[in-house]
């Protein structure tokens, strides 16, 4: 039976199916089902069911970018903005997690506490600052008038919420700090570490003196070290990708346009009576100095100003690729006062940057259907490969790029990205391989394992060699003569220090030094880079009974701060590990 005949025999069934299907579609359309599907996520993210809105994210990013502009007076680069955007997201996630934790453990601020913070005997510093009289006391009449004024009702709602949040956060900080108390023993030990010193003489036997010929490394050695030290070979999630790029360098047309911009200001520059104000208003890249400069001290590239008449402006001079014009303001003897108008040649945001962005977008569109390599060949673009590691925005071959790292974390294998704008180029990337976090296989790290094993064997061989030398040459001088080494000395080594002058970072050796008595010679000490024999010429241990109350409080504050900062990061990491965090930035922002 043919296909058409089967269809004719099944017409009744097909008709009823179509009628039923259209009925379902009608109902779904009536309840706006499809708009719900196409709308996608409505919030930027969700942390344990609590949304992060796009508005608060944008506000946080704006706060960071405004601060950057005010502090640097420089335009925001794409990469810097990407870093701030990532920081804003991390801040909002952390805030949600901490707020939720405070709810879990019951940290709250009652209405009575809030009233006390505003009108109590010891109000919050914000209230004190706003309503202090000339003597520094609270102006209670002004405070009451501000509270009772109807026009301030909305402002008070915001102030009360901020005061409540601040007090709640302070309670959380106190809650954490209560478990991180610094004991008197901690303070006494820290005082001793900071105020104990040693003068020493020592011999140093570097491990590097043991040659490879003296070392035998077996397969069993490699496997044993690898098995016993897995943490040394842990890797974060990594990405191997390829990319093409478009350089954002200015074109010859951009250079010509910038030269014309400078040239167009010649007459106004010559007529300007206030040269400092003129350069400022016209955003000269070279600021006005106003000082007289000796002819002999004028930089070579600025020497055209010497031949000008007072009040005359030079032709455009190119210096390091940027156009400059000089104006001689005054001359007294062999000293000249002059101004420099200059512009930096940059890529035009429309004719150059937008054109490159369009080229990158076209490449990505066609590469998705015709293939990455084929499209790159057609456009004569060089394909390069790179590797990135999660959590590390530095990418070899591309430099610092949080934007690329963010893209790689969400890109699926073989998928091609949208154009990514970096500070100096546009790139389109294709993810080739994603390697999950974990311990790297032995075959992949065999060379590293072998180096570690050799280092351990060098330490063992050198330690045994020094111990044997010491057995037959008791004092430092005899040992130095036998080993043909020079005795070194170091003074004022602090117990809390980490470096020995002439020997580098040697924390373990310093610890061993302060276990000696004055005049005592140590046995062999295995350091980071060598085996040491040390004579303690003088050990000056601090008397903890001499600690002052000021020193005690300063040490307590510092240790508490160190403990709090260390715990706070671990605390936040643990909250993230146990949280359900959904990140919708890719869908909404892109």
Across 244-268, average pLDDT: 92
Query: What band does 471 get if pLDDT is binned at 50, 70 and 90?
Result: confident
Across 413-432, average pLDDT: 93
- Judged against a pLDDT cut of 90, whether residue 562 lies above it is answered with no
- Judged against a pLDDT cut of 60, whether residue 440 lies above it is answered with yes
Angle, helix 219-228 to helix 442-472, in steps of 10 degrees: 100
pLDDT, residue 453, reads: 95
pLDDT, residue 590, reads: 55
Bridge partners of 394, per DSSP, are 400
Bridge partners of 339, per DSSP, are 327
- Judged against a pLDDT cut of 60, whether residue 9 lies above it is answered with no
- Judged against a pLDDT cut of 70, whether residue 28 lies above it is answered with no
Q: Is 266 exposed, middle or buried (0-12, 13-18, 19+ CB in 10 A)?
A: middle
Query: What band does 525 get if pLDDT is binned at 50, 70 and 90?
Result: very high
How far apart, in whole angstroms, are the C-alpha atoms of residue 88 and residue 41?
Answer: 19
Answer yes or no: are the C-beta atoms of 486 and 425 closer than 8 Å.
Answer: no
How far apart, in whole angstroms, are the C-alpha atoms of residue 428 and residue 419?
Answer: 5
Q: Is the model more confident about 531 or about 56? A: 531
Across 29-50, average pLDDT: 64
pLDDT tens across 381-404, in order?
Answer: 999 999 999 988 889 989 888 889
Answer yes or no: are the C-beta atoms of 495 and 512 closer than 8 Å.
Answer: no
Answer yes or no: are the C-beta atoms of 439 and 230 closer than 8 Å.
Answer: yes
Across 416-439, average pLDDT: 92
pLDDT, residue 35, reads: 47
pLDDT, residue 130, reads: 83
For tokens 């790297």, the residue is 440
pLDDT, residue 21, reads: 46
Measure the CA dihedral 581/583/584/590, to 10°.
Answer: 170
Q: What is the CA radius of gyration of the chain?
A: 36
Across 296-324, average pLDDT: 91
Q: Which strand (E) or helix (H) includes residue 59? A: helix 54-72
Answer yes or no: are the C-beta atoms of 495 and 192 closer than 8 Å.
Answer: yes
How far apart, in whole angstroms, are the C-alpha atoms of residue 295 and residue 177?
Answer: 65
Phi, psi of 430 (to 5 degrees): -130, 120
pLDDT, residue 40, reads: 57
- Judged against a pLDDT cut of 80, whether residue 56 lies above it is answered with yes
pLDDT, residue 204, reads: 95
End-to-end CA distance of the chain: 53
User: How many helices (H) and strands (E) would you count in the chain?
Assistant: 22, 21
What is the average pLDDT value for the chain, to the nearest integer? 86
Query: What band does 59 get if pLDDT is binned at 50, 70 and 90?
Result: confident
pLDDT, residue 466, reads: 93
How far apart, in whole angstroms, are the C-alpha atoms of residue 31 and residue 286?
Answer: 64
Domain 197-233+443-541 has CATH 3.40.50: no
Q: Is 201 exposed, middle or buried (0-12, 13-18, 19+ CB in 10 A)?
A: middle
Query: What band does 73 get if pLDDT is binned at 50, 70 and 90?
Result: confident
Across 1-20, average pLDDT: 43
Nearest to 349 by CA among 257, 454, 482, 453: 257
Query: What band does 19 get if pLDDT is binned at 50, 70 and 90?
Result: very low
pLDDT, residue 571, reads: 82
Of all residues in the chain, what percent carry a pLDDT higher than 90? 50
Across 490-503, average pLDDT: 93
What angle is formed at CA 476 by the lines to CA 472 and CA 481, rounded to 5 degrees?
Answer: 75
Helical H segments across 179-201, by residue range: 184-195
């Amino acid at each position: 039976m043919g296909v058409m005949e089967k269809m004719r025999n099944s017409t009744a069934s097909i008709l009823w199916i179509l009628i039923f299907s259209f009925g379902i579609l009608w109902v779904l359309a009536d309840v706006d089902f499809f708009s719900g599907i196409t709308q996608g996520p409505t919030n930027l993210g969700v942390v344990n069911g609590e949304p992060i809105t796009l508005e608060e994210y944008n506000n946080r990013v704006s706060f960071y970018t405004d601060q950057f502009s005010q502090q640097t007076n420089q335009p925001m680069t794409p990469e810097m903005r990407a870093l701030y955007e990532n920081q804003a997201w991390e801040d909002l996630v952390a805030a949600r997690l901490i707020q939720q934790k405070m709810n879990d453990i019951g940290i709250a601020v009652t209405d009575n506490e809030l009233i006390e913070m505003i009108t109590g005997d010891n109000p919050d510093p914000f209230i004190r600052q706003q309503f202090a009289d000339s003597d520094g006391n609270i102006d209670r009449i002004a405070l009451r008038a501000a509270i009772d004024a109807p026009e301030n009702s909305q402002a008070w709602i915001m102030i009360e919420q901020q005061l409540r949040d601040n007090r709640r956060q302070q309670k959380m900080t106190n809650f954490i700090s209560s478990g991180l108390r610094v004991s008197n023993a901690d303070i006494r030990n820290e005082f001793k570490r900071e105020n104990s010193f040693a003068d020493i003489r020592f011999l140093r036997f570097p491990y590097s003196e043991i040659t490879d010929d003296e070392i035998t490394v077996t397969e069993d050695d490699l496997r044993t070290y690898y098995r016993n030290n897995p943490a040394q070979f842990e890797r974060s999630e990594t990405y191997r990708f390829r990319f093409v790029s478009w350089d954002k360098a200015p074109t010859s047309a951009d250079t010509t346009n910038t030269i014309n911009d400078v040239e167009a200001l010649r007459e106004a520059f010559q007529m300007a009576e206030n040269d400092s104000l003129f350069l400022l208003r016209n955003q000269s890249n070279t600021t006005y100095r106003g000082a007289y400069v000796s002819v002999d001290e004028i930089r070579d590239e600025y020497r055209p100003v010497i031949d000008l008449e007072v009040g005359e402006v030079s032709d455009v001079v190119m210096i390091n690729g940027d156009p400059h014009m000089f104006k001689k303001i005054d001359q007294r003897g062999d000293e000249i006062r002059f101004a420099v108008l200059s512009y930096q040649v940059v890529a035009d945001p429309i004719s150059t940057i937008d054109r490159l962005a369009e080229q990158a977008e076209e490449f990505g569109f066609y590469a998705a259907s015709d293939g990455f390599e084929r499209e790159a060949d057609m456009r004569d673009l060089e394909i390069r490969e790179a590797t990135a590691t999660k959590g590390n925005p530095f990418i070899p071959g591309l430099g610092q790029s949080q934007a690329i790292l963010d893209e790689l974390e969400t890109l699926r294998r073989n998928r091609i990205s949208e154009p990514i704008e970096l500070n100096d180029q546009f790139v389109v990337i294709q993810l080739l391989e994603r390697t999950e976090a974990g311990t790297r296989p032995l075959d992949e790290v065999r060379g590293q394992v072998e180096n570690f094993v050799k280092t351990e064997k060098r330490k063992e061989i050198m330690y045994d060699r020094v111990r044997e030398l010491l057995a037959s040459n008791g004092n430092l001088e005899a040992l130095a003569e036998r080993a043909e080494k020079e005795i070194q000395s170091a003074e004022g080594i602090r117990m809390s220090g980490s470096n020995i002058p002439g020997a580098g970072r040697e924390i373990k050796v310093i610890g061993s030094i302060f276990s000696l008595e004055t005049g005592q010679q140590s046995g062999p000490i295995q350091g980071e880079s060598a085996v040491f024999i040390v004579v303690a010429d003088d050990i000056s241990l601090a008397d903890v009974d001499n600690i002052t109350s000021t020193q005690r409080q300063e040490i307590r504050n510092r240790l508490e701060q160190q403990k709090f900062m260390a715990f706070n990061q671990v605390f936040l990491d643990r909250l993230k590990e146990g949280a359900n965090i959904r990140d919708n930035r890719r869908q909404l922002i892109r």
